[in-house]
A and B are shown apart, each in its own frame.
Chain A
Amino acid sequence: MDDLYREVIIEHYKNPAYRGKLDPHDISFADNNPLCGDHIQIDLRVGTDGTVTDARFDGHGCAISQASADLLIESIIGKPLEEVKKLNKDSVLELLGIELGPVRLKCALLSLKVLKAGVYGLGEAGDDLVE
């Protein structure tokens, strides 16, 4: 339990390095977690070689959802989109370094769902994107 509020998570929640918006951007997508109303928008800039050159997230939510978004954005800058497409639930849990129950897992995975829906150009951030 205390793990859930590891210092790194509180730190990323209170002082996120990648909160904000990118204008212009190449990809932008936003969605909500219908269970709790958490909201995340992700903006990406993509280089001609298909690499993420810059990224930001914005929105509101609990410490888990916001910290995982910040960690996720940090991890994808400089990566090819093809690699971003391969990210899944385990990638996020690895970034957070904690175990999560089913309810809080939804909080943690919202940013990845939004990211992948944006990268694939989908209309909705579905659960299947993070399996």
Chain B
Amino acid sequence: MFVNFHSESPLTINSMTLNITEIRKDFPILQRETRAGIRLTYLDSTATSQKPSSVIQAMDDYYRQSNANIHRGVHTLAEEATAMYESAREKIAKFINAESARQVIYTRNTTESINLVAYSWARANLKQGDLVILTEMEHHSNLVPWHMLQTERGIELEFIPVTEDGLLDLETYKALLDRRPKLVSFTHMSNVLGTINPAAEMIRLAHDAGAITLVDGAQSVPHLKVDVQSLDADFYAFSAHKMCGPTGIGALYGKAALLESMPPFLGGGDMIKEVKLRSFRPNTLPHKFEAGTPAIAEAVGFGAAVDYLNGIGMDNIAAHEHEITEYALERLEEIPGVKVFGPSADKKGGVAAFTLVGVHPHDVAQILDRDGIAVRAGHHCAQPLHEKFGIPATSRASFYLYNTKEEVDLLVNGIYKVKEMFG
């Protein structure tokens, strides 16, 4: 009853938009087997993407050739390292069409970017009773910083509801805006439902109501062409590791006037212009927010990841993912007992979170792993969203530029095996 794809070789590829055979060669890890004879089928890019050789090589070259601390040294290596660190920032700024590189702050990840806004901007601007609007589909990283501020400051939180088909209820959003929120903070693309939210419209509405906006772009920047200026976002947060770059580095984009007005976040070296025994003057942007020795090699890798994605083209990547997602939803929904969450393929990115009746998602993931298929199981750091849908957890398959329809077929066969096992 199952087609055994493992015995077939080589991998056949069918994409209208990209040469996936060539792309897969760029990712060494995709060549590995998870056990003898079982090739890796990586369907967990929403958690973290795999890394192309060019990114690994760039970081390796940095350590072998140019490693030094940045900004203060005058020797050759320090100058090289500084130039590499700053040129990566310029690439990243261009990638999201920021007005200038000084508006791109390096952080550890999207979570730290959001926390930077919560600690610096929000603590300087929000007081008891001020309203912050979030959504029911937020990742914990865009919930907990605001819970903490609620406890500390007594700010109020309201949530844009998620409809049954996984979209934001914009009518309720408009009604909430009548209460004059100070901040609207929302995800551009849901890490569970895959929903791509109408960010430009939501930002326009927020601005009309006098609110500042923060967009969690962890899932959108890797998969869509993002233009922070045309979105008119005040803050935009994202991570390198979900877009072919290394872990340990992310970015916060902010409008210059806002970033200028904000107090520093972490204190220490590099974020200062001048330090006296009893006082300091903060540095200019972007260094004001980058205390201590940063993740230099990771910044270099981040820049190389941007180069890699540009080389392939974000429009091509989005088109390929759309094709895979459409196919995956169609195949998954054919399986009796499988329920896929979120909107139809035209309104979502490459994410398929699903449940299989009678089997816990952990068990689904574990049994799929036996066939080398990597999916995630759990609440994906979006517990309130799962509660909304009345389920403790889902299994989640997610797709990126290197995934193929054949891998979707492997997933579907694997789910049939799970069904058989749990009978």
Contacting chain B: which of A22-30, A42-50, A56-64, A123-131?
A56-64
Contact B383 A63 (CB under 8 A): no
**B125 CB, min distance to chain A CBs, angstroms:** 32
A10 within 8 A of partner (CB): yes
Q: A10-B422, A35-B378, A37-B393 are known contacts. Are A62 and B370 too (CB-CB below 8 A)? A: no
Q: A1-B370, A5-B421 are known contacts. Are A36 and B363 too (CB-CB below 8 A)? A: no
Partner of A37, one of B363, B366, B379: B379
Inter-chain CA distance A64–B359, complex, in Å, is 11
Q: Which of B395-423 contact A (CB under 8 A)?
A: 421-422
A10 cross-chain contacts in B, Cβ below 8 A = 421-422
Task: Give the bracket for the number of chain A residues in contact with chain B.
Answer: 10 to 19
Interface residues of A (CB under 8 A from B): 1, 4-5, 10, 14, 35-39, 60-66, 104, 107
Contact B393 A5 (CB under 8 A): no
Inter-chain CA distance A10–B422, complex, in Å, is 7
The 3 closest A-B pairs by CB, nearest first: A62-B362, A62-B360, A36-B378
Interface residues of B (CB under 8 A from A): 358-363, 366-367, 370, 377-379, 383, 386, 392-393, 421-422
B386 cross-chain contacts in A, Cβ below 8 A = 37
Contact B378 A37 (CB under 8 A): yes
Question: A39 — nearest CB in chain B belongs to which residue?
Answer: B392
Question: B378 — nearest CB in chain A belongs to which residue?
Answer: A36
Question: A59 — nearest CB in chain B belongs to which residue?
Answer: B392
Contact B392 A60 (CB under 8 A): yes
Q: A10-B421, A36-B393, A39-B392 are known contacts. Are A63 and B378 too (CB-CB below 8 A)? A: no
Partner of B379, one of A36, A64, A65, A66: A36
**B386 CB, min distance to chain A CBs, angstroms:** 7
Q: A36-B362, A37-B379, A37-B383 are known contacts. Are A61 and B392 too (CB-CB below 8 A)? A: yes
**B353 CB, min distance to chain A CBs, angstroms:** 14
B367 cross-chain contacts in A, Cβ below 8 A = 5
Contact B392 A38 (CB under 8 A): yes
Can you name 22 A-B residue pairings with CB atoms under 8 Å?
Answer: A5-B363, A5-B367, A10-B421, A35-B378, A36-B362, A36-B377, A36-B378, A36-B393, A37-B379, A37-B386, A37-B393, A38-B362, A61-B360, A61-B362, A62-B363, A62-B366, A63-B359, A63-B422, A64-B362, A64-B363, A65-B360, A104-B366
Inter-chain CA distance A50–B338, complex, in Å, is 47
**B422 CB, min distance to chain A CBs, angstroms:** 7
A35 cross-chain contacts in B, Cβ below 8 A = 378
A104 cross-chain contacts in B, Cβ below 8 A = 362, 366
Question: A101 — nearest CB in chain B belongs to which residue?
Answer: B366
Inter-chain CA distance A66–B421, complex, in Å, is 17
